[in-house]
Structure 1
Amino acid sequence: MKRAVTLTVVANMTSNYSEGLGNISSVQKIFKEQHVYAVRSRESLKNAICVQAGLYDDLETSVDGAAQKLVSAEKNAATCRALEGGYMSTKELTYIRNSSFYLTDAIACDAFVNETRFHNNLYLASNQAKANGFSLQVKGNAEKAGLMPYQYEYDKSMKVYSLTIDLEMVGKDENFQAEAEPEEKADRVLRILEAVRSLSLVVKGNLDNAEPLFIAGGLSERKTHYFENVVRVKRGALAITQDLKDKLSEDFSCALLRGDNFSNEDEIVKELDPLSMKQFFEQLEERVKSWYGL
């Protein structure tokens, strides 16, 4: 029986930022296979998807030592979409409900190459100096006007991440013996899928189109990231392996955003016969509706 939606996505996206040192910001990275790779963390990715999907529209927070999602008998995962991604409430009694969907880090396909960008707020500082009748050229006035150079590492590259949704868990909260209607369950899943399909990120004030360039997956019997280990991109080429083909043959499909995003696009089309992104998501959405009896 199909019990989950599993997807593995290749997207061109920026990394999120880790700790800064003074006025220097560095992108988040991991070390594997003797190389350093830029990443967008699973937490950052999940937050972006939840926000774009509208799952956080009804989010309320409470503070009990630390800020946490507000949970109660009336406001639980069945009645509040913001709690679908899981919660731990320590107010009065402790309640824990795991997320019904899981993401991996979005890891760059190729090793990190440092690209540093240098900026300053010269226009704002000049405006401040002009308004107060002094010159930035005079020693000490730059600090007085708030002139500040800053720099940050920049990375936008192909990254791979996986998403798995437990269809049996969506809309249920065993802590309060509550369960949403099938229509609400399906709507939550469809919102997540639509967010993945048209994902946009705002990074350092810049809009980042992180829509899928290639995607593989569908409804699955196993609640796991089924394609995580077979979707690989090296030097701009998607690895077309027998294992990838075998997995796709198990009632899964793939889709390609055509536009020479991959150096072996013709080979992908010939060997995998991918759907368009529109076809892939429309078919998957219909299967989700059918799974919930709609």
Structure 2
Amino acid sequence: MNSKLKALTFSIVLQAQSLNYGEGIANISELKKLTRSDGNMYTFASRQCLRFDIVRLAAELFGWNLQVVDKSKGTVQFRDDVTIEDSEEMDLFGYMKTNKKETENKGGSLTREATVRLSNAISLEPYRSDMDFLNNKGMADRIGEHPNLANVEQHLSFYTYTVTIDLSKVGKDKDIELDNKIKAQRVIQLLEVIKILNRNIRGRQENLGPLFVIGGMYEVANPFFLGRINLKSNQTGYEINTDAIKSVVNSKFLGKEIKQNTYVGFVDGIFNNKQEFVELMNDKVVSVDEFFENLIKGVKEYYEVQ
């Protein structure tokens, strides 16, 4: 194995609408939101929400095994007889299995940390209290009844989230270690899913595929670009702010510039300042598809598979 470049991380920008709702109040469906000191509210899709759709789509496309949970101990969790050998989800996203005997396993649970880390998907544009008024008048009219009313918060925005994968920990759990071909296959399938990720919500299917992505393979599993993605907008359109990104790619780790292993992927026609990234990254600005092909190539090289 290539022991140096053992991890990959990338931050994605996507565009979508109203991705994740909370509990709500009365007949108002509220989006999940955060408040910053600038006085603005920003909507977000939780990492659990992203994980749900990654696993759902991976099961549809690649047959990931989801029949791995039960409620035999009073709470829904992964089954005791299932290991990472049986479950791609447990391998990549970790697990916790509670144990009834408090004296066992230091607190009564078996755990394994996730090898794939997801951040929340945070909106890059503030929420401005847009609402959608809904009713079921069409159905109510059929039986001469008054319609039911609802108010639903709406937010169309660019969002950003970050994925970090420690390749050295994939396929390993206690006395289990999977074949390198299986390790590589699982990571590659994950990357293929993220490239075309979508979310089914309230009768809509939102496209969560990347419009912009930056990252690569590195010597450490660190989310270098998390919190460094900002949006600029004016009458001519949108731009990805390069100031914070420039500071990251020009910084050094173990004596090497982060830029050496970093690529940028663009979908053309969305952001107006692609040329700024070309000047910053030279020949490392590619299409989104080429960006993921580079990652897949690196994964195969790390695990020494074809």
Equivalent pairs, count: 274
Q: Give the match's secondary structure for 2:169.
A: coil
CA deviations 1:246-283 (Å, max 9, x no partner) are 26523111111112x12334434444451011211112
Do 2:68 and 2:87's aligned partners in 1 also have CA atoms closer than 8 Å?
no
2:85 to 55, 78, 81: 78
* Structure-to-structure mapping, 1:215-226, within 5 angstroms: 215-226=213-224
Letter in 2 for 1:283: N
1:213 to 198, 211, 214: 211
Q: Give the match's secondary structure for 2:229.
A: coil
Who is 1:239 aligned against?
Answer: 241
Do 2:65 and 2:86's aligned partners in 1 also have CA atoms closer than 8 Å?
no
Q: Give the match's secondary structure for 2:168.
A: coil
* Structure-to-structure mapping, 1:105-116, within 5 angstroms: 105-116=120-131
Gapped runs of 5+ residues in structure 1?
130-135
How far, CA to CA, are the matches of 1:289 and 1:56 in structure 2? 20
Who is 1:249 aligned against?
Answer: 259
How far, CA to CA, are the matches of 1:186 and 1:19 in structure 2? 39
TM-score (norm: length of structure 2)? 0.83
How far, CA to CA, are the matches of 1:237 and 1:33 in structure 2? 23
Who is 1:12 aligned against?
Answer: 15
Who is 2:300 aligned against?
Answer: 289
CA deviations 1:13-50 (Å, max 9, x no partner) are 23300111122101101122332111111111122112
Going from structure 1 to structure 2, the CA distance change for 1:166 and 1:101 (only over 3 Å counts) comes to same
CA deviations 1:209-235 (Å, max 9, x no partner) are 111111111111111111114332233
CA deviations 1:120-175 (Å, max 9, x no partner) are 11222233x1xxxxxx2xxxx43xxxx3111200112111110001111111111x
Who is 1:99 aligned against?
Answer: 114
The CA RMSD over aligned residues, in Å, is 1.9
How far, CA to CA, are the matches of 2:176 and 2:191 in structure 1? 24
Letter in 2 for 1:122: K
Letter in 2 for 1:213: L
Q: Give the match's secondary structure for 1:262.
A: coil
User: Cα distance, 1:101 vs. partner?
Assistant: 0.6
Do 1:78 and 1:172's aligned partners in 2 also have CA atoms closer than 8 Å?
no
Do 2:224 and 2:248's aligned partners in 1 also have CA atoms closer than 8 Å?
no
User: Cα distance, 1:189 vs. partner?
Assistant: 0.6
Going from structure 1 to structure 2, the CA distance change for 1:102 and 1:223 (only over 3 Å counts) comes to same
Who is 1:45 aligned against?
Answer: 50
TM-score (norm: length of structure 1)? 0.87
Do 2:8 and 2:164's aligned partners in 1 also have CA atoms closer than 8 Å?
yes
How far, CA to CA, are the matches of 1:45 and 1:191 in structure 2? 15
* Structure-to-structure mapping, 1:256-275, within 5 angstroms: 256-259=266-269, 261-273=270-282, 274-275=285-286
Identity value in percent: 27
Q: Give the match's secondary structure for 1:82.
A: helix
Asked whether 1:119 is paired with 2:134, we answer yes
User: Cα distance, 1:3 vs. partner?
Assistant: 1.7
User: Cα distance, 1:206 vs. partner?
Assistant: 0.1
Do 2:65 and 2:87's aligned partners in 1 also have CA atoms closer than 8 Å?
no
User: Cα distance, 1:92 vs. partner?
Assistant: 4.9
Going from structure 1 to structure 2, the CA distance change for 1:224 and 1:271 (only over 3 Å counts) comes to closer
Do 1:59 and 1:82's aligned partners in 2 also have CA atoms closer than 8 Å?
no
User: Cα distance, 1:53 vs. partner?
Assistant: 2.2
1:196 to 153, 177, 194: 194
How far, CA to CA, are the matches of 1:245 and 1:2 in structure 2? 16
How far, CA to CA, are the matches of 1:3 and 1:71 in structure 2? 30
Q: Give the match's secondary structure for 2:22.
A: strand
